[in-house]
Chains A and B, each alone.
Chain A
Amino acid sequence: MPKLIIDNLPVEVAPGTTVLEAARSVGITIPHFCYHPALALASACRLCAVKMLDGPVKGIQMSCSLPAQDGMVVSTTDPEALKMRALVIEWLMINHPHDCPVCDEGGECLLQDFTIAGGHSRRRYQGDKRTHRNQYLGEHIYHEMNRCIQCYRCVRFYQDYAGGTDFGVTGSAGRVYFGRFEDGPLESPFSGNLVDICPTGVFTDKTGRFRARYWDYQFAPSVCQHCSVGCNLAPQVFQREVIKIVGRRNDQVNSWFICDRARFDKKGINDPSRPRAPRVDGEATDYEAALDALAARIYDFVEVHGPESLAFVGSSRLSLEGCLMLGELVANFDAASLSFYGDPAEAKGSQLATELLSGENVAAPADLASADCIVLLSVDLMNEGPMLAPFIRKAWLGGTKVYRIADPALLSGQQLPFDCIEAATLAEVPLEQASRAIVVCHATRTPREELSDVAATGARLAMLQPGPNGFGAALVAREHGARPFDELLAARKVRGIVAFESDLPVANLKGITVLGCADWQATELSQKAGVFLPTTTWMESTGTSINFEGRAQRFERAFRPGYPLKGLDAKYYAQSRYGEPAPGQPKTPPPQPPRIPRGEIPGGQEIEAWKAMARLLEKLGGELIVEPLTGSWQPLRDIDPEAGGERIFSLFKSSEPDTL
């Protein structure tokens, strides 16, 4: 363990730690542009200069590429180091356009911060600035090349980390240019990370430019609910509209990055046709009245048809709290049924995952990077878990062989950022020879026997789930004896359902009354429901979800729900920014909310699904539950949303009998 002294502070770090990281560990930020923890060293910007006063090397050194060694005495504030850093800033400012007021990066710009910190304020260079032509990079990213400070982060991310091939660097000396060979949309499904990784405003988010400044945004640590990987991200919200979404670090799950779907797909949340008001038989009402109506209808229904003909239906979109509350609701009726799944394959697969996986045989996304054999088993990686791809690429670059057992029905045509060896069956893959093999599969597609065989070889499993909280829903399904909806249909007992954030196809519901539906999307089911209860989206909710590897992660409410304060301005909504309005919804957005002082937010009656369930339960005569995480779930109450999440396997030590 090297011991060194940085600015008079003694520091002890792990071998291989750089001086810059060592300084960081004691709270000293050495300015840097090209250094990024997730990328290979470049040592290009020369901003992280420090002076080595004593030790194996002396004088001005670049701290980002200098490994900490015993006996080093480092000064980050030596006049010579400060002068070097001031000069680097002056050099970078020679060609930077100083257009901060009209730059969307302003306020969240590393270059601004370090220019101010570096003390450069007067221009001594008297020549012209070099200018570049900008490129059209598609509908998501705006390119403003004049701002570039040539830190090479973008190209190191795009080519080396993400495996993209259509973006790179051309030219030399002062004419270095970062772009595509010709104008056109960026092809990589990870291209949006250029916005995050660029230390200045070369790449800005076209879907949210010029709407607000950094200090205007409401932030919260959130977890993506598009797929079961559970990438950490943070929505940037201004006046109740999600303007941008940025990646959030979680070394085990998504490193620093998120895929383009997570970043740019804000449609559902900002959707102008999103149902905001509770409805009873199509008439808007307030939440209390709607809950009363639903409770009365359920009561009547049970009186007439008996509790065995009632089913409560959820989905893997529900948070863990939602799933657990749904279980409580069902427990309130003696013979009512619970279902989380429309599709029996989904039920079976998710259930299988909870039975098969343990803390020992499950693989986190980051584990893929150090695997020595990887198998893609009937999985559409770029749609079902895209953020696994960069980790697999990293292993592949290190010489790991990646096998693909393709399912012809799944070939999405998307290119993988690594080469695969095609195999027909698992038997062709030399799993036994590997010591850190990982099989990436999908819970719904591979038979139990085959996966048990895989687990027996010692290979670990990355079993992707059909829904973002599929693993959590499956655990609750097991605990409360949930059944696939098809089974309930086949038994012909169910005559009425109450659905919470469910995606059941309406076509299956012939002869079944949809008593109530709670959702934040305008689903078909919500159109058919007698009572509709609007719920909050995951960005407006605090809750827990469990990703495919059994990692419970807390997400926090980024903003209170309601119509965007700015009104649903046609300028922003008419350009199909959020897609076409749903069928039956008006083409023009709802009017500007009234600017009269009052306590409640217009269109802001939504509550979290589990709270809607809790209130319904209270109205049905049950006791009011204010904390759904009880019993063995209790430890999950204290999860720190910024600490990377916790594996839930320790909560369930003994394996429970198969209840499906």
Chain B
Amino acid sequence: MEQVLFRHNRPGRVVTFKEYCDEGGFNALRKAISEMTPNEVQQAVIDSGLRGRGGAGFSTGRKWSFVPRDLPGPRWLICNCDEMEPGTYKDRVLLEHNPYSLIEGVTLACYALGVRHAFIFIRRGYEKAANNLAQGLIEAKEAGLLGKRILASEFSVDIDLHLSAGRYICGEETALINALEGKRPNPRSKPPFPATKGLWGGPTVVNNVETLANVPAIIAKGPGWFKGLARNAEGAGMKLFCVSGAVKNRVCVELPTGTTLREIIDGPCGGMKPGTKFKACIPGGASTQFLTPEHLDVPMDYDTVAKVGSRLGSGAIIVFEEGCCLVAATLNLITFFARESCGWCTPCREGLPFVKEVLTRIEAGAGEERDIEILREHVKYLNYTFCALAPGAMAPLDGLLRHFEAELREHIVQRKCPFK
């Protein structure tokens, strides 16, 4: 199968700069600088149908087009590599094998946006990826592909690698901007959106690693080719899926958008763990709703997954087998979110620990009938928070109530976890 992001990967080690260049690396940058205007680059990304791979799935090219080009002062590009959603590890795999696609993608995005200075905001734990990037930045600079007057053109750009101090909320783009400015990583209110007023008040684009790493291939081979990679008509390009849970092989694979869940599990994952049966899965990281066996043939793309009440998110699939307690699984996720709340707004700061307390009680066999009402209230009213953290945290709980309320009730009736 054609690989885009994993094309240069070498088993067990990082691809070298020379290998990457020999395989056509940085040709997209050469092509853009010599043959295309910044607007043409942006248009190509719009035409390609590339959507934000961090989870929101917003059209990348359109996001770029919101940036006003006539304001005085600098514009900024930030690559969001604060990958911390439970279950998600695609960016780590990508960067541990190949940092150059991202560097080239960031440079191309800067060219399209007229950005002079970009930042890669990377999770503190990703030391190997950070080392690869740091090394890659030096190599690119030495080869004249980064820094002043790239490839002897008028275009210059610097990329800084910023190691995050490490909190989940830093993945929220405005919190990330605050963190980069040296402030507390509390999200900012929107509007104004970062595209008009972001880092140090300047227009700012924040894109995910995978999103930007796709850009070189789009420029090199054209938006039509990229769009055609998808399996479904609405989709575009390839998507990294990182699978964990009750499957035989837990892998991170690059598959065409629109591949069904069944194909992913039965194909690269080698099926379920021997002797287990599929019960449910989370399709796109911890802040998405459960999918059940009836959804196994849903094409994995943004709109198709949304149609069945969940989200493709980051493409991090967590598979649960029959006999696995989903109340405990949800509790585990909520515990994470309750801990990672930034503490700014009341519903998130206080509501998530409330949910955690209720689920803990239910799981321990001390649940009451009215607890289900409490959980429902939280699913509804935790939507009215300052940022998307708490609504995201409520997604698995919403899925639990929607598809597995019987299981939840069983805990309360039996006064114990039925799976223990």
Interface residues of A, Cβ cutoff 8 Å to B: 41-47, 49, 60, 62, 65, 83-84, 87-88, 91-92, 94-95, 124-127, 149-150, 152, 169, 171-176
Contacts and interface: CB of A to CB of B under 8 A. Distances in A.
A125 B357 CA distance: 7
A84 B386 contact: no
A47 B357 CA distance: 22
A172 B344 CA distance: 8
25 contacts: A42-B344, A43-B386, A44-B386, A46-B345, A47-B346, A65-B189, A83-B377, A84-B381, A84-B384, A87-B347, A88-B346, A91-B350, A125-B354, A125-B357, A126-B361, A127-B357, A150-B349, A172-B340, A172-B341, A172-B342, A173-B339, A173-B349, A174-B341, A174-B343, A174-B353
Contacts of A94: 350, 353-354
Contacts of B349: 91, 150, 173-174, 176
Contacts of A149: 346
Contact of A91 (B169, B184, B351): B351
Decide if the interface of chain B is mainly helix, strand, loop or mixed.
helix
Contacts of B346: 44-47, 88, 91-92, 149-150
A172 B343 contact: yes
A125 B350 CA distance: 11
A366 to B, nearest CB: 25
Contacts of A124: 370, 374
B381 A92 contact: no
Nearest to A170: B184
Contacts of A175: 343
B181 to A, nearest CB: 15
Size category of the B interface is 20 to 34
A42 B381 CA distance: 19
Interface of B: 167, 169, 184, 189, 338-347, 349-351, 353-354, 357, 361, 370, 374, 377, 381, 384-386
Contacts of A126: 357, 361
A150 B186 CA distance: 13
Given A87-B377, A87-B381, A172 B167 contact: yes
A174 B350 contact: yes
Contacts of A84: 381, 384
Given A84-B384, A124-B374, A174-B349, A44 B344 contact: yes
A318 to B, nearest CB: 50
A131 to B, nearest CB: 14
Nearest to A95: B350
A88 B349 CA distance: 11
Contacts of A47: 346
B343 A43 contact: no
A600 to B, nearest CB: 54
Contacts of A127: 353, 357
A54 to B, nearest CB: 19
A45 B345 contact: yes
A173 B342 contact: yes
Contacts of A173: 338-343, 349
B170 to A, nearest CB: 11
A92 B350 CA distance: 7
A46 B340 contact: no
B73 to A, nearest CB: 13
A601 B189 CA distance: 58
Contacts of B357: 125-127
Contacts of A174: 338, 341, 343, 349-350, 353
B212 to A, nearest CB: 28
Q: Give the residue among B184, B342, B346, B354 with the most A Cβ atoms within 10 A.
A: B346
B353 A43 contact: no
Nearest to B373: A124
A49 B384 CA distance: 9
A125 B381 CA distance: 16
Given A91-B350, A150-B346, A174-B349, 18 more contacts: A42-B344, A43-B345, A87-B351, A87-B377, A88-B346, A91-B347, A91-B354, A94-B350, A94-B353, A94-B354, A127-B353, A127-B357, A149-B346, A172-B167, A173-B340, A173-B343, A174-B338, A176-B343
